[in-house]
Structure 1
Amino acid sequence: MKNINWAILGTGVVANEMASALKNAGKKVYAVGNRTYSKAVLFAEKYGIEHIYENYHDMFHDDKVDIIYITTPHNTHINFLREALAAGKHVLCEKSITLNSAELREAVELAEKNKVILGEAMTIYHMPLYKKLANMYKTGEFGRVNLIQLNFGSFKEYNMENRFFNKNLAGGAMLDIGVYALSLARIFLASKPDKIISQVRYAPTGVDEKAGIVMTNAEGEMAVISLSLHSKQPKRAVISCEKCYIEIMEYPRACEAVIVDAQSGEKTVIREGDRQRALQYEMEDMEEAVKGDFQILRLSDTIDVMNMMSGMRDEWQLYYPEEKDKKIL
């Protein structure tokens, strides 16, 4: 197969990480586009990118582009997804992949219609540690999952203009950090939760500042999640199974897990991957998907997670300006 040409839409922090990841993997970013052309020029100079679009929409219609990596704020994703997928481009889109389930359903249908690959840049789906743990779980080494506990708390100053608290930028804990917790839970739950109870506290701007979530599925497995944008917590996951429990710290880009035997208390440390290569793993999986391994992107889990997030927001009556008078489920 010919070399795959990547184009990056956006020039923010995560765009820089992906450009570095591609460079470290010996690949070359073919093109970059940004709403502000001067920023695209500086980005291209930094990473040796030859092609810059004066009008970033031209990216979607460039025959030489194979995969577009969308790094813009998540309330802009659906419009870019519509354009890219309709033009026959494969897309790796930053989390949260869309604002809601209705948008994601539209994007998935477009990808299927145009026979292209759509994936979410969710680190948890691509880190080698989780692939190893998921395989161990699948082969029965842990036994049945009983309870999953997940914390994710950041302390963000009350600057209501930044994206974390700004409703016009789709701010809030659920779409920014809750997506990590729910994605991790979904990997280890036998089925999507069918009962969800949640409590929310709003920031002054009306976005979700913190939330507590309890979920159960048909198998009786439970996940308990605590999220906050204004209260620091460890990014800690504990997955309690019949035979052991698994503890993971800094789980969005984890490369180490401690497995504690339920009977003896004996600890086994599992190390896989390198957190510094998190975006490289995303890039490699996306290329494998384009070559034919569609399941590696875990799109069905992305769909489940988005449905859970949209369902909770619908119960909270928390909607963004783009969702006015529209169904989100």
Structure 2
Amino acid sequence: MENKELLKELSLAHAPSSREDKLYALIKEKFSAFGEVTIDSMNNIIIHKEGNARGKVMVMAHADEIFLLVTEILNNGVVKFKGVGVDPKSLVAQEVIIHGTKDILGIINIVKDINKAVTSNDLIIDTGYSKENLEKIIKIGDFITIKGKFVELLNSNVACKTIDNRGSIVAMYQCAKELQNIQHDLDVYFVCSCQEEVGHRGAKIATYNLNPDIGIAIDTTFDSGELGAKDRENIIGNGPVICHGPNLHHKLNKKIMFIGDKYGIPYGVEVEPGNTGTDAWDIQVSRKGVPSMLVSIPIKHMHTPVELVNINDIKNTGKIIARFIENLKEDELEELLCF
């Protein structure tokens, strides 16, 4: 229940790329029991959980969400916009919040009947304001986010906006809880990274500054069930997914899968021969190179207002990473991290 309530709070918060500071107070409240919570100049939120100071492992989950931006204010309180990462066809009839000098509620609609695929150019936001009054509150360039609704479904499934990637922050919280009463050799830096959705910018900065021995990115991946991705076998409810490919360190992957088997924590595997499209891509090439892993939570309906996840997958993601960290020993690091 604790994880579900935290996921609800995080998912219903509004923190688009470059506005991750909007989550700082909530994350500080929830994570301060585990260590010092700070925020850097880029809006990366960092929690330092002390170990035995025999190395550093960074666990990263991006905090930002996909968003829209105001591009034009028309007559009758109508707003035009551009989106980042949003599937336009999922936006029709959605409630959104325009973040001006105060928050304005709006409804997205189609400009006119069309017989083609919907693009953002075909959509408008109706606010009910006059243009004159609206221009006193919002301006071109203001952020827009989905209002969102948290829905509890059967079999420990829930749906909401921004499960990508607030679900992964909850997994980090679970990991921190698991480690709270465990002696671990490496210091742990939990990073809620900024601007992943627009180019993994926070990952670049945080990894460079922290210079960890190991970097672990937590993100979401596509479920492969009915209506899901057919190029993989990621089933919601079957645990986290360990990604394999050149972006990821094969010995670390082997170790975390051993840990899953040892402790009876379910997991799946997927393959990405190129860019994983996650913070792991930039973690790997920071400074002299950082051995990296990508542990993903399978979800349905990614980048829509109704992303669906299984709460147990979030919990098991945190558990497998915690057990992995517990089993990292200083005298084994050199051999483990050598290709």
TM tier, smaller:
under 0.3
**TM-score (ref. length: structure 2):** 0.24
Query: RCO (CA 8 Å, sep 6+): is it higher in 1 or 2?
Result: 2
**TM-score (ref. length: structure 1):** 0.25
